[in-house]
Amino acid sequence: MSETPTSTEQKANRANKSVAMGAAMMAISMVGVAYAAVPLYDLFCRVTGFGGTTQVATAAPGAVSERIVTVRFDASLNRKMPWGFKPPKQAVALPVGESGLAFYHANNPTNRRITGTATYNVSPPEAGVYFSKIDCFCFTEQVLEPGQSVDMPVSFFIDPEILTDPEMDDVKTITLSYTFFEATPSARLEAPIETQAKLAPRG
């Protein structure tokens, strides 16, 4: 028995609806994965030090070795960020395990209040898992009033575990880098994924 044109059209319409529904569900799933990717990527970076992501600690263990590591300080700004931003001191030599304290100077030369947020990493990237921050201006957004200047502290140490990693034996210098963005939705969207992970709100 042959199918009538009407029944054929109905089957085709049902097939098209099924395809459209499947495509819609896939799109929704991809959006969900995209939203989940940022916190998952952030967690992955924090645990592994991937991409030079630093660690967070409550206190330094104290000097445990005569090995000295020089920590250099680097500062940069997103192209749309009008602040001034620099480290007054370029470097510090620190025994492994001992806490260090550094400052970064920021100023707002504009006539409007600006909220800034800093992304960060260290190089070489493999050192990220051994670079621990106790306190840092990068943990929260910074608000500067028009014309205001501020010295922002960061306290840190080199984890003694670095002494057990043969691949880190030749590392004598670690560079700590910060980039300040104006804290706006557009700034977050323009940032690369590793930057988005660090800009993402934390629970």
Domain assignment present for 11: no
Determine, yes or no, domain membership for 39. no
In-domain check, residue 176 = yes
Please report whether residue 188 resides in a domain. Answer: yes
Digitized pLDDT (tens) for each residue of the chain, 203 residues in all? 555 555 555 555 555 545 444 554 454 444 443 333 333 333 334 443 333 455 776 667 787 888 999 999 999 999 999 999 999 999 999 999 999 999 999 999 999 999 999 999 999 999 999 999 999 998 899 999 999 999 999 999 999 999 999 999 999 999 999 999 998 755 444 444 334 344 444 33
- For residue 8, the SS3 value is helix
Assigned domain for 42 exists: no
pLDDT score, position 138: 86
Q: What is the CATH number of the domain that holds 139?
A: 2.60.370.10
First and final C-alpha spacing in the chain: 64
Residue 40 inside a domain? The answer is no
Q: What's the pTM value of the predicted model, to 2 decimals?
A: 0.65
- Whether residue 127 lies inside any domain: the answer is yes
In angstroms, the CA 12 to CA 14 distance is 5
Which residue range is the domain that position 59 belongs to?
50-199
CA atoms within 13 A on the CB side of 2: 2
Instruction: Count up the domains in the chain and report the number.
Output: 1
Cα–Cα dist 65/71, whole Å: 16
102 occurs within a structural domain: yes
